[in-house]
C-alpha cells in the first residue's frame, strides 16, 4: 500500500480542535459547552465590512493581483503610516490569513533544515507552518513564574547553532497574553544584529493592549529594516476570522520579491475577503473603544475569578485575549477531556485548550491550560463557576 509522506506524519493535530468530538458528545447530551478553547471572538464584525459584501456590484469574481488588490494595499499602508509604521504598498503581500504570511516568510527566508527560535509556549500552528517549510523549531522556554516574560538573551544564545537563521515572536502573545516591552524588543534587536538573523514578528493582536500599555512594533527597531518581517491579520482586529485575509510586510525588497513567487503559485488571496478587509479600514474609532472596554471587563472578571480558585494561578494578560493558567491538576489533556466527557454543573461544562499543545519541549504545560476570554461576561461567569466546581471533584486534583 502507498505510504504517506514524512511531512504528513510529522504534522501535529491541533491541540485546540482535537477535543471537538468530546465537545460534540457533551452537546449531544443536551449540555451547554462554554468554548474557552479557541480565539473566536463573539464581537460583531464592523458594519462597514458587512455592507461592503452585501452591496458588492462585481459581475465577475476575478483573480486579484497575486500580491493583493492595489487599492487595499495602498489603504492598508496608510493605516500603518498613521500608527507610526512607515511602509508602502510595494512592501507588503496580502495573504490568505496570517497563517499564509508566516508560511511564506519561513519558505522565503529559510532553507530546509534551518532552525528558528521561538519562545514557548507559542501559537501551536507555528509547528505546522515550520514542518510545511522543512524548518526545525527550537523552543526557548518562558515561565509562568515570571508571567512569561522574554527569556534572557543569554538563554537565546545557548540554543543557537550555525543553522539558526531566525527568531519568531508573537506580540501581544498568543497563548500567554504577554506584551513584550520596547526594552525587551531592543534586547532582541542586539541579538538579531549580532548574528545577522531574521526576526519574524506576529503582530495580529496589536490593538489589544491593556492597562495603559502600548504596543511597539518590531518594524520600528532601528537598524533592522532588512531583518524584520511582520505578519498581520484582520481576523481578530475586526472579528473577521473567516474572511482569511492577512499580510506579510517587510522593507526587505528581496524578501518581498521572492515571497511573491510563492504568492503567484497560489494565484491570489480571497476576493471577497479583500473587499471586506478594505472596507474595514473605515471602521469608526468608537468600534475599537467599545471592543477595548469589553475585553478589559472580561479580562478583569476572569482573572479575579480564576485567582480566587484554590490552587489556581492566572497571570494578568497585558494583551491579546488569552491567558495560560496553572491549575491543580495532574494532566491538562486528561482534564480537558474529562470535563467534557464526565462532568457537568447545572447541565453546563467548559472546553479549554491543554497548554501541552503550545509547548515544544516534552513534559511542559502538564498542569496548564490556555483560556480565551472571548465570551460575554454572563457566559464567562457561568464558565468560571463550572470550572471551579469541576476542579473540586476532578479525580486527578493535585491539592
Q: Which percentage of the chain shows pLDDT scores above 90?
A: 96
pLDDT per position as a tens digit, 342-396: 999 999 999 999 999 999 999 999 999 999 999 999 999 999 999 999 999 999 9
pLDDT per position as a tens digit, 119-149: 999 999 999 999 999 999 999 999 999 999 9
pLDDT per position as a tens digit, 56-97: 999 999 999 999 999 999 999 999 999 999 999 999 999 999
Separation CA 202–CA 117 (nearest Å):
14
User: What band does 13 get if pLDDT is binned at 50, 70 and 90?
Assistant: confident
Give the pLDDT mean for 97-110.
98
Grid coordinates in use for 365? 504545560
Contact 219, 326 (CB under 8 A): no
- Chain CA centroid to CA 30, Å: 31
Give the pLDDT mean for 97-121.
98
Q: Is the pLDDT assigned to residue 15 strictly greater than 80?
A: no
Looking up cell 518581517 gives 229
Give the pLDDT mean for 103-114.
98
Separation CA 72–CA 281 (nearest Å):
9
Contact 73, 92 (CB under 8 A): yes
pTM for this prediction: 0.95
pLDDT per position as a tens digit, 295-306: 999 999 999 999
User: What band does 42 get if pLDDT is binned at 50, 70 and 90?
Assistant: confident
pLDDT at 188: 97
Sign of the four-CA dihedral 159, 165, 169, 175: negative
Q: Is the pLDDT assigned to residue 232 strictly greater than 90?
A: yes
User: What band does 41 get if pLDDT is binned at 50, 70 and 90?
Assistant: confident
Supply angle C-alpha 44, 41, 27, rounded to 5.
110
User: What band does 38 get if pLDDT is binned at 50, 70 and 90?
Assistant: confident
Using DSSP's 3-state secondary structure scheme, residue 381 falls into: helix
Helix orientation angle between 253-265 and 97-109, rounded to the nearest 10 degrees: 120
Give the pLDDT mean for 41-45.
90
pLDDT at 377: 93
| 86: region left, alpha or beta (phi > 0 left; psi from -120 to 50 alpha) | beta
pLDDT at 211: 87
- Chain CA centroid to CA 262, Å: 23
Contact 147, 178 (CB under 8 A): yes
> Which CATH code fits 6-44+286-393?
3.90.1150.10
174 closest CA partner among 17, 372, 364, 14:
372
pLDDT at 18: 80
- In Å, how far are 84, 279, 281 from 88, measured between CA atoms? 12, 18, 16
pLDDT per position as a tens digit, 200-229: 999 999 999 998 899 999 999 999 999 999
Q: Is the pLDDT assigned to residue 4 strictly greater than 80?
A: yes
Using DSSP's 3-state secondary structure scheme, residue 269 falls into: coil
Separation CA 312–CA 330 (nearest Å):
13
pLDDT at 135: 97
User: Structural domain boundaries of the chain?
Assistant: 6-44+286-393, 48-280
- What CATH architecture does domain 48-280 belong to? 3-Layer(aba) Sandwich (3.40)
Q: For the chain, what is the mean pLDDT?
A: 96
Amino acid at each position: 500500500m502507498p505510504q504517506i509522506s514524512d511531512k504528513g506524519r510529522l504534522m501535529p493535530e491541533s491541540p485546540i480542535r482535537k477535543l471537538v468530538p468530546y465537545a460534540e458528545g457533551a452537546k449531544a447530551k443536551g449540555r451547554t459547552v462554554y468554548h474557552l478553547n479557541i480565539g473566536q471572538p463573539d464581537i460583531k464584525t464592523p458594519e462597514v465590512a458587512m455592507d461592503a459584501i452585501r452591496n458588492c456590484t462585481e459581475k465577475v469574481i476575478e483573480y486579484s493581483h497575486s500580491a493583493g488588490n492595489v487599492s487595499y494595499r495602498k489603504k492598508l499602508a496608510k493605516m500603518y503610516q498613521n500608527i507610526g509604521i512607515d511602509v508602502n504598498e510595494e512592501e507588503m503581500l496580502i495573504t490568505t490569513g496570517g497563517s499564509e504570511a508566516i508560511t511564506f516568510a519561513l519558505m522565503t527566508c529559510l532553507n530546509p533544515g534551518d532552525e528558528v527560535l521561538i519562545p514557548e509556549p507559542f501559537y501551536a500552528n507555528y509547528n505546522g507552518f515550520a514542518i510545511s517549510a522543512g524548518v526545525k523549531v527550537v523552543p526557548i522556554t518562558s515561565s509562568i513564574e515570571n508571567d512569561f516574560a522574554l527569556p534572557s538573551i543569554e538563554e537565546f544564545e545557548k540554543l543557537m547553532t550555525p543553522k539558526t537563521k531566525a527568531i519568531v515572536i508573537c506580540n501581544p502573545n498568543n497563548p500567554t497574553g504577554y506584551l513584550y516591552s520596547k526594552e525587551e524588543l531592543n534586547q532582541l534587536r542586539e541579538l538579531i544584529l549580532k548574528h545577522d538573523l531574521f526576526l519574524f514578528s506576529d503582530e495580529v493582536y496589536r490593538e489589544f493592549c491593556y492597562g495603559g500599555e502600548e504596543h511597539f512594533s518590531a518594524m520600528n527597531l532601528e537598524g533592522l529594516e532588512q531583518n524584520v518581517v511582520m505578519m498581520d491579520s484582520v481576523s481578530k482586529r475586526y472579528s473577521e476570522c473567516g474572511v482569511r485575509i492577512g499580510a506579510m510586510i517587510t522593507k526587505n525588497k528581496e524578501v518581498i520579491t521572492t515571497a511573491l513567487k510563492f504568492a503567484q503559485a497560489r494565484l491570489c488571496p480571497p476576493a471577497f475577503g479583500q473587499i471586506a478587509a478594505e472596507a474595514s479600514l473605515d471602521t469608526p474609532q468608537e468600534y475599537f473603544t467599545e471592543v477595548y472596554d469589553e475585553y478589559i471587563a472580561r479580562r478583569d472578571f476572569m482573572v479575579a475569578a480564576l485567582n480566587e480558585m484554590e490552587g489556581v494561578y492566572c497571570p494578568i494578560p497585558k494583551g491579546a485575549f488569552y491567558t495560560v493558567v496553572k491549575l491543580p491538576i495532574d494532566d491538562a489533556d486528561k482534564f480537558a477531556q474529562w470535563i467534557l466527557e464526565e462532568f457537568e454543573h447545572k447541565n453546563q461544562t467548559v472546553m479549554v485548550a491543554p497548554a501541552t499543545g503550545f509547548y515544544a519541549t516534552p513534559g511542559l504545560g502538564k498542569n496548564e491550560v490556555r483560556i480565551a476570554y472571548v465570551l460575554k461576561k454572563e457566559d464567562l461567569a457561568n464558565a468560571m463557576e463550572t470550572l471551579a466546581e469541576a476542579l473540586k471533584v476532578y479525580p486527578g486534583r493535585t491539592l
